[in-house]
Structure 1
Amino acid sequence: MKIKVGYLVSYDYSMFLTSVKQLYNHVDKIVVAIDKDRKTWSGNTFDIPQSFFEEVKKYDVKNKIEFYFDIFYLPNLSPTENEIRERNMVLVKLGRGWKIQLDVDEYVYEFKTIAKYLKKYWYFTLFPKMSPICFKGKLVTLFKKLPEGYIYIQNDEKFPFITNQTSNTFGRNNDKIRKVYTNINVIHQSWARTNEEILMKITNWGHRDDFDTIKYFEFWKSLNSENYSDQKNIHPLYPEIWNKLYFLESNSIDDFVEKYAVINPQKLIYVDKILMLKAMLKKFKF
């Protein structure tokens, strides 16, 4: 059984090493997808300096990281469609095994625990077409970096990101296969960036056309250590998902991850393997 990770990298490449160092020693393969023409899903151009590739090569002492250059922007597709297409291409590139789908601003801390968890369910990787499955985690969304630390969101926002399959139907989700909730916490740096980085994000991501991004950007800029606790239901698409804001004092993203992990160690939900297999076999009439 292999544990493999696929990353989509573009303008936010600088966050990659923060993410990959959380899991590097406990996975078998890491594929880093970058558009060969340096185009975002919206068709805008980005640049990645040569120093980034040199830094990654220096870090990759076990030769686990493979760069995957291809055309991931098609002008006849929407940003969301381009996202789905790229994620599926990366899933195919990863091959057989447990495939973890991450963005560079997502940090899966205490990954040794997650690797042990996946190895308990090794048999789902043997015949994936007969036992399609996806594991869901829980996002801890960093919403804004303040001089004293980070404003963040801690609730039950679940998302699918580990699968044995080679395709998604939307984002990282495949609505045709079984989902299992694991309680894996994934720290998502998401909105905790500079003003310039946020503008780049909201004008190029898959949700670009889903809400008034500039109005939301102005709201985000207005938050500070005095007013953040007054804000409720602030998710731009599904308000109640982000129903409350929290704050953790920290001097860097690494410091936040370390402190958050101490307060919230990974406590995974194990499911009965026999019952899960029976459910799979019943669904597919084996």
Structure 2
Amino acid sequence: MATQFVFPHPPGVGFRFKKFATHVVLFGQDKWIMKNIENAYQHVDQIYIAYSEYPWTYNTQAIKHYRNTFDLDIIRNSPFMDKITIIEGVWKTEEDQRNACADRAAKDGMDYLIIHDADEFYFHAEFMKIMKEIAEHPNYDFYKVGWYCFWKTFDYILLGSSGEEIVGYPEFAINLKRGVRFASKRRPNKNDVYVIPPAIGVCYHGSYVLTNEELLTKINTWGHAHQMNPTEWYNNVWVKWNENSVNLHPINPPAWSKTKRVEFILPEVLKK
């Protein structure tokens, strides 16, 4: 059943119904994936999980050394499986893998496909408010949301080049009814964007809350591996980091000026 929202509307129009799904590209996210699914489950109509045994081809050496270690039976045997569609394959690029989910979601009649990577988390109340904001602004190609990006642990966030705590507004959802697909990584092939105000909701991004081994897997297999020297960045930035370190971004160093210690209240699924 589609998620129901009530909108301001002219007399006689009545309720509108919108169908929302999330999708996840699952590789090297063993520690997060079940929390991610739990985060989305109560809010959406469907969860698409694209699983490949092999990494993408951005780093030509990665395919020789890395394999997907996650056991899909953990998902299949979970209480969330009634809303989950697992798509298995091998994809050369991030956008190819995401488009496998977009194509299936469009076929299944979804209106909006949320980009909900395994290390991205939301308060339940804010998740619903973000979806409602999208449904009340239905005719955009895609939607962006701000995020806090955590570093090493959930005690530190990265700061932007001007010291801002919200370090970016990445793509949150695409409008499948407008024929939107992914053109480059999570970036869509169309341009009409609506930015969700931070007062409505933000993402708590655990992207760099990783052990050294997990971090090495990430930077050697992700969609930016060809834009950086993973070994150099790992040794010179990640390993040597302290609270006084600056210029931390792996692609554009000044974009993450430094870290800041915080005591944030975290989304519910991260408290377990």
Pairing 1:72–2:83 present = no
The alpha carbon displacement at 1:212 in A equals 2.1
Matched residue SS, 2:184: coil
Determine the structure 2 residue equivalent to 1:105.
119
Q: 1:57 to 1:89 in 2, by over 3 A?
A: same
| Counterpart in the other structure of 1:164 | 175
Establish whether residue 151 from structure 1 lines up as the match of residue 156 from structure 2: yes
Q: Which residue of 1 aligns with 2:48?
A: 31
Aligned-pair identity in percent equals 21
Q: 2:205 aligns with which of 175, 188, 194?
A: 188
Please tell me whether residue 200 in structure 1 is matched to residue 217 in structure 2.
yes
1:4–1:100 Cα contact (<8 Å) kept: yes
DSSP 3-state at the match of 1:203: helix
Whether 1:46 and 2:67 are equivalent positions in the alignment is yes
Q: Which residue matches 1:122? A: 135
1:59-108 deviations in whole A, cap 9, x for unaligned? 316x11111112323xxxxxxxx11111112111112311101221111x
Q: Could you tell me which amino acid in structure 2 is paired with residue 237 of structure 1? A: I
User: Is 1:222 the equivalent of 2:247?
Assistant: no
**Preserved CA contact (<8 Å) 1:84 1:168:** yes
Structure 1 vs Structure 2 CA RMSD: 2.7
Check conservation: 1:134, 1:180, Cα contact below 8 A.
yes
Instruction: After TM superposition, list the pairs within 5 Å mapping 1:81-92 onto structure 2.
Output: 82-92=93-103
Report the secondary structure of 2:39's partner residue: coil
Superposition deviation, residue 115 in structure 1: 2.6
User: In the superposition, relative to structure 1, how do residues 12 and 49 fare at CA in structure 2: closer, same or farther (>3 Å)?
Assistant: closer
Listed as ranges, the gaps of 5+ residues in structure 1 are 74-81, 126-130, 262-286
How many matched pairs?
232
How far apart, in 1, do the equivalents of 2:77 and 2:125 lie? 23
> Which residue is 1:138 aligned to?
146
In the TM superposition, residue 260 of structure 1 has moved relative to its aligned partner by 9.6
Secondary structure of the residue aligned to 2:170 is: strand
**Structure 1 segments (4+ residues) deviating >4 Å:** 258-261
Note if contact 2:24-2:50 (Cα within 8 Å) is conserved in structure 1: yes
2: distance between equivalents of 1:87 and 1:256? 27
Paired residue secondary structure (1:161): strand
The whole-number CA distance in structure 1 between the counterparts of 2:172 and 2:130 is: 14
Q: Which runs of 5+ in 2 are unaligned?
A: 1-17, 58-62, 159-164
C-alpha distance in 1 between matches for 2:253 and 2:127: 30
Secondary structure at the counterpart of residue 142 of structure 1? strand
In structure 2, which of residues 8, 13, 21 is the aligned counterpart of residue 4 of structure 1?
21
Pairing partner for 1:57 from 70, 77, 101:
77
After superposition, what is the alpha-carbon deviation per residue over 1:177-202, rounded to whole angstroms, capped at 9, x for unaligned? 21111133112211221111111111
- What amino acid does structure 1 have at the position aligned with 2:173? I
Aligned CA distance change for structure 1 residues 69 and 114 (closer, same or farther; 3 Å)? same
The secondary structure found in structure 2 opposite 1:27 is: coil
Confirm or deny: 8 A CA contact 2:38 2:80 kept in the other structure: no
**Counterpart of 2:187?**
173
CA shift for structure 1 position 176: 2.7
Q: Distance in 1 between matches of 2:212 and 2:266?
A: 20
Measure, in 2, the Cα distance between the counterparts of 1:169 and 1:193. 28
The DSSP-based 3-state class of the residue aligned with 2:55 is coil
Letter in 1 for 2:181: S
Name 1:19's counterpart in structure 2: 36
**Is the helix fraction higher in 1 or 2?**
1
Residue identity matched to 1:150: D
Query: Within 1, Cα distance between the matches of 2:136 and 2:169?
Result: 24
CA deviations 1:12-36 (Å, max 9, x no partner) are 233111222222111110011102x
3-state secondary structure, aligned to 1:155: coil
TM-score w.r.t. the length of structure 2 is 0.75
Query: TM-score of the superposition, structure 1-length normalised?
Result: 0.72
User: What CA distance in whole angstroms lies between the structure 1 residues aligned with 2:270 and 2:33?
Assistant: 19
